[in-house]
Amino acid sequence: MRVFQGPDGLSRREFRAPAVTIGVFDGLHRGHRHVITHLRTFADRLGGDAVVLTFEAHPMALLTGAPPRRILSTAHRLLLLGRLGVDATVVLPFDDRVRRMDYETFTRRVLVGGLGMRGLLFGYNGNFGHGGEGTPERLRALAPALDFEVEEAPAIQLGGRPISSTRIREAILAGRLAEAAEMLGRPVAVYGTVVPGAGRGRTLGFPTANVDLEGEIAPPAGVYQVVAALGAERFVAVANLGTRPTFDAPGAAPGPVVLEVHVPGLARDLAGQHMEVEFVRFLRPERRFASREELVAQIRSDLASLGARPGAGAAGAPPAGA
């Protein structure tokens, strides 16, 4: 998938008769995926590219100063859009200039002038432009003069209500993984860079990759069975999400929340690599252990519940951050 930054510098020569849809697409849930499937069909009918126009930051960050917590970082969103068969994504900052642009100016300058748009697809309750005045009805009135078509993708409902990013955030933060996964159409996952850690996992015999959550929301603290993905490679693993209280002094304030992933048998340097971590099931709460020996015994028990060989990741060079 090709990725472009906008709105300046876009060239319609880079796009082939594109069908375009616009949105934040936080979570890329089943409703969003339905829109992308519709977009692919629309683009194929027009003989052109399926193009998503999305925003670097949530518009509510500028509009209210209180944006919702992100389900997906921009990098994670782009990764998933590529998997869905999108040909190109244009990432725009939602700054004051974009916010103030009325729908007709945005359509003429960015969508038609910058992309050469031939089709515009609205998702459920979709609109764009200053004040949200760019509705399907208004764009249909504008379309003949600018030579593009307008379509709408219907809503996808679950439990009698449209699937929404808000409902998914609530489910993830409450630890309702199955409910969130049903709305997402995929497992709950985070995506980030492997960063250096304190090295305690290595000294215990269970080296860990420490994953920077990069602002994405995660389930409640605890130990989870996960799938760790490094590109096309996928590994059954165990992850601790929390503040590692065993290593804090008694009575000390909790440290920052950290995601530590132990992949049995994986013994190579992962420094700087991107890892996607899918939460499969909750194993147990995070807690303070009385001794290192007690903690090691519990880790071995956690790994045994996965059918993994305890300590297998300890041989060789440990994952970076261990």
Q: Where are the domains of the chain?
A: 2-158, 189-314
Q: Which fold has domain 2-158?
A: Rossmann fold (3.40.50)
Architecture label for domain 189-314 = Beta Barrel (2.40)
Report pLDDT for 34: 95
Question: For 160-178, what is the mean pLDDT?
Answer: 93
Report pLDDT for 117: 98
Q: Quick check: 158 pLDDT over 90?
A: no
Query: Which residue shows structure tokens 């045994």?
Result: 304
Instruction: Pick 310 or 266 by higher pLDDT.
Output: 266
The pTM of the full predicted model, rounded to 2 decimals, is: 0.87
Q: Quick check: 310 pLDDT over 60?
A: no
In the chain, what is the straight-line distance between the N-terminal and C-terminal CA atoms, in Å?
A: 33
Q: Is 310 exposed, middle or buried (0-12, 13-18, 19+ CB in 10 A)?
A: buried
Q: Where are the alpha helices (DSSP H) in the chain?
A: 30-46, 60-63, 74-83, 96-100, 103-106, 136-146, 165-173, 177-184, 200-204, 292-304
Q: Quick check: 225 pLDDT over 90?
A: yes
Pair of tokens at residue 279: 């939460």
Enumerate residues 6+ apart whose C-beta is below 8 A from 161. Answer: 167
Report pLDDT for 114: 96
Enumerate residues 6+ apart whose C-beta is below 8 A from 95. Answer: 62
Question: For 196-212, what is the mean pLDDT?
Answer: 78
pLDDT tens, residue by residue, 63-82: 566 678 899 999 999 999 99
What SS3 state is found at 111? helix
Strand 161-162 and strand 274-284: pairing?
Answer: unpaired
Average predicted confidence (pLDDT) for the chain: 88
Report pLDDT for 320: 43
Query: Which residue shows structure tokens 């132990």?
Result: 262
What SS3 state is found at 49? coil
**Do the two domains 2-158 and 189-314 of this chain adopt the same fold?**
no
